[in-house]
A and B are shown apart, each in its own frame.
Chain A
């Protein structure tokens, strides 16, 4: 049954399984489905914001490629636009970082490293930075110089240099070659390089087992079949940027996190690891000049916390909401208290998409009781 037909999708989503009280549903090869409880008016408002008419010749405004909504383990809504299909493995850009964090969580459970290990123990080029530890990379706080600008400042962008020019053959070694500008663990500077250092560290820990590891450790247990993960020339998975999967498959990573790192009967990610993922980096300083409040960095995830006097970034979503976020509007939102997981893929080429606005309308449409006038 194909569901990628736009508005007709809702009609097709008519009940398959009633929500049994207390029963916990998990996706097998397919997601269990449930009738959307969406009030028609709230759903129209959600779609009007999320799927405005789109022009590929002049790419401006909100340009959503796909949305999948999971409520309490059930697929309640999905819609795809343009050439996007149910089976399209969409580029996730920096959502890859949070997926890499989940892969690392399995390696952590297997005892392959400790958070207090020095990075140099696992990635020899970091011998130049002997005080940087694994725990410093997770909230992007190594203290190494980095500039994470894309289109706005391409000339001096470290991420562009890493992905496309001097750094591209060995992205982690390029990152290691940068100078330290702050003591490790004292300052958050968002850095794609650090995510690739984590990926390269995993490569050293695993040796030949690295090639299959993201699949064996994470994708296969979760039933993810569409994943593609591109590597640099040195063979390191580009943990910062280049994981692809269908929206339905990315929602599985969301459900894993919504349920505290547990998948069915298995605690895939240790509670200690998930706690680290969802703890705000203590030395983070919210930018008072930001016109749109930015999510608070946790351990390779982004958090909706009121922090150091700054309001929470998504004021219309509960404080336990968190997300994996990527370039051009890729989002995986998780709200455990509402059992809600939302994947939103996009191709936003300007800054008009507002995460808070999207979440407000999604909650009104899909979370029972939130859509009442």
Chain B
């Protein structure tokens, strides 16, 4: 009986590994791109919240928060630049001009 349970468990783990692996291979492109979403989204929307809409730091921290927490957010108020690190990647958004608001700086550095 115990051996049967063990066997079942092993099969389950194997199935999970194979299934998870297959899912990862099928979605690899999406997964690797998704890794950058958290920092990019937070940097861009926080930058616009602060420097386009003109809201306070406190409000914008709540406004740009997602269900996955980022690891750091650095606002350079005078330069109107925001750098966010999350899921191991970092993104910077910067204010451009009164008409054009904020945009993400192209390079995403690991």
Min CB distance A167 to B, Å, is: 9
Is there an interface contact between A56 and B62, defined as CB atoms closer than 8 Å? yes
- B59 & A165 in contact (Cβ 8 Å cutoff): no
Q: Are A88 and B54 in contact (CB under 8 A)?
A: yes
Q: Can you list 22 pairs linking A and B with CB atoms under 8 Å apart?
A: A56-B59, A82-B59, A83-B55, A89-B52, A90-B53, A91-B53, A151-B66, A154-B34, A154-B37, A155-B31, A156-B27, A160-B34, A161-B30, A165-B33, A165-B40, A228-B99, A228-B101, A229-B100, A230-B52, A230-B96, A230-B103, A244-B52
B44/A228 in contact, CB under 8 A: no
Q: Which of B31, B53, B67 contacts A88 (CB 8 A)?
A: B53
Flag whether B41 is at the interface (Cβ < 8 A): yes
Per-position 1/0 for A182-200, Cβ under 8 A of B:
0000000000000000000
Taking A164-B36, A165-B37, A229-B101 as given, write out 20 further A-B residue pairs in contact, using a Cβ cutoff of 8 Å, ordered by the A residue number: A89-B52, A89-B53, A151-B67, A155-B27, A161-B33, A164-B37, A164-B40, A164-B41, A165-B33, A165-B34, A169-B106, A215-B99, A228-B52, A228-B98, A228-B99, A230-B48, A230-B52, A230-B100, A232-B103, A233-B104
Within 8 Å by CB of B103, from A90, A154, A166, A231, lies A231
Interfacial residues of chain A within 87-110, with CB under 8 A of chain B in the complex? 88-91
Take A161-B33, A165-B33 as given contacts and tell me if A83 and B40 are in contact as well, using a CB distance cutoff of 8 Å: no
A169 cross-chain contacts in B, Cβ below 8 A: 106
In this assembly, does B102 line the interface, its C-beta being within 8 Å of a C-beta of chain A? yes
Q: Which of B40, B48, B98 is in CB contact (< 8 Å) with A168?
A: B40
**Residues in chain A near residue B104, CB distance under 8 A:** 164, 168, 233
Number of interface residues of B (CB under 8 A): 30
B contact residues vs A (CB 8 Å cutoff): 27, 30-31, 33-34, 36-37, 40-41, 44, 48, 52-56, 59, 62-63, 66-67, 96, 98-104, 106
The binding surface of chain A is classed by DSSP as loop
What is the bound-complex CA distance between A229 and B100, given in angstroms? 5
Interface residues of A (CB under 8 A from B): 56-57, 59, 82-83, 88-91, 151, 154-156, 160-161, 163-166, 168-169, 215, 227-233, 242, 244, 347
Residues of A within 8 A of B100 (CB): 228-231
